[in-house]
Structure 1
């Protein structure tokens, strides 16, 4: 337990963290990778270069300081992060390294304002927070290993099939190389893929949603090839998977993880909304509903550029046909002339609230959505404006978690694919 003095000191640093948080975390990662370059094998380098990881960590530190007197209130966030840590292979021995480096970064950035009392209070608070993470993650490691077909760390999988789903998305069907049992998963969960790319000094780990229903003799991931764009490098792992990985090749996978999962007990209508490759976890959920609760009403809405980039369309339509009451709707913001002639989509442009109200039968439903951040900000804003309760709104970020406050970014329902 933290003393009242420590809690008071930590809370007094909230304004400084709000102002200097990102500077602290930028310095933290510089120090961390200089002193411990082996950790570059764990972190997503693309998120580092784009500043996403620094911002996510700054938000997490700020939230911890705000709620230091009631840490139980941030346990849902702790569990979400712990899922990612377990899937990446973060271990208890990493936490002291992180704590020492974070304190050093705070001291360097805040200078004289970082008094001994403040540094001591943060050291104490970090120890408490780290122990919470270590405890939660220990349970997750045990569960992942002890379940039927489970394993610890990473396991070798063979590429059994490779299917091009669109001009930018390819599916990989993966089976255990040891031909032993396959661990179950909840629809919506992801796995981590660890690869060694020729010419790269460090291994790379990326997380990809499982895009088919549980119960199959394989795991399927559907990966978007990330092209280089202004201010954003090409995706090293996605391009390597598309161009370098062939049938029979081996990929190393962690056991399934993640808390963005379908509530199978809830029998109310379902609404799935996706943008770009964000449809992958939702297709897994749709497949599960079709297999287990075909009487549950479902509305599936997907935004893409056009038919050329639209992946898994046929599977979604076939699954909808297995349901007693289902509708599917496609929104294209850059339809081709052929798309227009054949009328293969429902709406041109971007998703908006007026259109949602037309195609979604009721707001008394469970809403699940995933896609690029601008898309998710727009959808979240629309659902809130419509009066959908927060408890009925479920979403997942691809990459470091951020905020869906529409004021923080473009509120259009864009269809660019998320980075994983």
Structure 2
């Protein structure tokens, strides 16, 4: 436990972290990878280059400092991060390495303002916070390994089928190489895929949502090929999976993880909203709902640019025809002339609060959504304007956690 004096010192640094937090975490990652380049086998290099990971860490450090005397307040955030750590194989032995470099980064950025007293307080505070993560993750590792069909670390899976779902999304059906059972999972969870790309010095790990219902002999992931542009690099792993991995090849996976999961006990109507490849966890939820809770009304709403990049449209449409509880609604921001001629969508433009209100008359519904961050900000704002309670709003970031607070003049994209 921290002394009252240490708690007071940590809380006094909160305003400093609010201003300098991202600078500290950027410096931290520079120092960490310089001192321990082997950790580049674990971290997502693209998230580092785009600044997503330093920002997410800065927010986590700020929250921990602000709640240092009541760490139970950040336990939900801890569990979310711990799921990702367990899926990536982060170990207890790595926490001291992180702590050493984080303290060095604080000292480096703040200079003389980081007194010995402040560094000592943060050293003790980091030890307490790290132990919370270590304990939570230890339970998760044990649960993953001891579950029926479970395993520790990475397990080889064979690509049984590779299916092109749209111009940019391809599904991979993965079966265990040893032919044994696989872990059950909750709709909305993900797996980590490990790949070694020829010519690349480090291993690449990526987390992909499971896109089919639980209880089958395979896992399915549906991957968008990220081409990249002048603003961001292309996706090395997604392009590698699309271009180089074929049926019969082997991929290594960790057991399913994640806390963005469907509440199957809830009997109220549920609304599943997705943009682009954000539909992958939603399809898992939809397939589960129609099978397990046939009386529960479900609204499936998907936004895409047009039909060319709209994945799984036919399968979802057929599913809705077979199950009267489900209704599907498509929103295209850039429909083609063929889309318009065939009237293959329900709304042109973007998903709005008014359209949602028209589609979903039931005000007691629970909402789940996923997609690009600008899209999710738009949906979150729409749901808030409709007065949906915060407890009924559930969402998942693909990558490090960010903020859904709307920023002025932010583009609306899917």
TM-score by length of 2: 0.99
Q: What corresponds to 2:218 in structure 1? A: 218
Following the alignment from structure 1 to structure 2, what is the Cα–Cα distance between the partners of residues 410 and 314?
32
Gapped regions of structure 2 (runs ≥ 5): none
Q: Deviations over 1:374-419 (max 9, x none)?
A: 010011011111100000000000000011111377273x21xxxx
Following the alignment from structure 1 to structure 2, what is the Cα–Cα distance between the partners of residues 270 and 53?
32
Q: What corresponds to 2:177 in structure 1? A: 177
For 1:95, what is the secondary structure of its paired residue? Answer: helix
For 1:407, what is the secondary structure of its paired residue? Answer: coil
In the alignment, is the contact (CA less than 8 A) between 2:290 and 2:326 conserved in 1? no
Which residues of 2 match residues 9-24 of structure 1 at below 5 A? Answer: 9-24=9-24
Q: What corresponds to 1:144 in structure 2? A: 144
Q: What corresponds to 2:89 in structure 1? A: 89
Following the alignment from structure 1 to structure 2, what is the Cα–Cα distance between the partners of residues 20 and 408?
23
Q: What corresponds to 2:383 in structure 1? A: 383
Q: Deviations over 1:335-389 (max 9, x none)?
A: 1100000000001111111111111122211100000000100110111111000
Query: CA 1:144 to 1:127, structure 2 compared with 1: closer, same or farther past 3 Å?
Result: same
Following the alignment from structure 1 to structure 2, what is the Cα–Cα distance between the partners of residues 320 and 210?
20
In the alignment, is the contact (CA less than 8 A) between 1:87 and 1:255 conserved in 2? yes
In the alignment, is the contact (CA less than 8 A) between 2:88 and 2:192 conserved in 1? yes
Q: What corresponds to 1:418 in structure 2? A: none
In the alignment, is the contact (CA less than 8 A) between 1:295 and 1:324 conserved in 2? no
In the alignment, is the contact (CA less than 8 A) between 1:296 and 1:323 conserved in 2? no
Following the alignment from structure 2 to structure 1, what is the Cα–Cα distance between the partners of residues 366 and 387?
13
In the alignment, is the contact (CA less than 8 A) between 1:87 and 1:257 conserved in 2? yes
Which residues of 2 match residues 326-337 of structure 1 at below 5 A? Answer: 326-337=326-337
Following the alignment from structure 1 to structure 2, what is the Cα–Cα distance between the partners of residues 68 and 403?
21
Following the alignment from structure 2 to structure 1, what is the Cα–Cα distance between the partners of residues 23 and 409?
21
Q: What corresponds to 1:57 in structure 2? A: 57
For 2:214, what is the secondary structure of its paired residue? Answer: coil
Q: Deviations over 1:8-56 (max 9, x none)?
A: 0001001111111111001100000000000000000000010100100
Q: Deviations over 1:182-234 (max 9, x none)?
A: 11000100000000000000000000000000011100000000011122011
Following the alignment from structure 2 to structure 1, what is the Cα–Cα distance between the partners of residues 41 and 353?
43
Q: What corresponds to 2:290 in structure 1? A: 290
In the alignment, is the contact (CA less than 8 A) between 1:304 and 1:332 conserved in 2? yes
In the alignment, is the contact (CA less than 8 A) between 1:159 and 1:250 conserved in 2? yes
Q: What corresponds to 2:266 in structure 1? A: 266
TM-superposed CA distance for 1:145, in Å, is 0.3
1:48 and 2:48 matched: yes
Following the alignment from structure 1 to structure 2, what is the Cα–Cα distance between the partners of residues 304 and 42?
32
Q: What corresponds to 2:394 in structure 1? A: 394
Following the alignment from structure 2 to structure 1, what is the Cα–Cα distance between the partners of residues 347 and 143?
44
Q: Deviations over 1:75-118 (max 9, x none)?
A: 00000000000000000000000000000000000000000110
In the alignment, is the contact (CA less than 8 A) between 1:274 and 1:370 conserved in 2? yes
Q: What corresponds to 1:7 in structure 2? A: 7
Q: What corresponds to 1:164 in structure 2? A: 164
In the alignment, is the contact (CA less than 8 A) between 2:151 and 2:255 conserved in 1? yes
TM-score by length of 1: 0.97
Gapped regions of structure 1 (runs ≥ 5): 416-420
For 2:307, what is the secondary structure of its paired residue? Answer: coil
Following the alignment from structure 1 to structure 2, what is the Cα–Cα distance between the partners of residues 137 and 74?
15
In the alignment, is the contact (CA less than 8 A) between 2:159 and 2:249 conserved in 1? yes
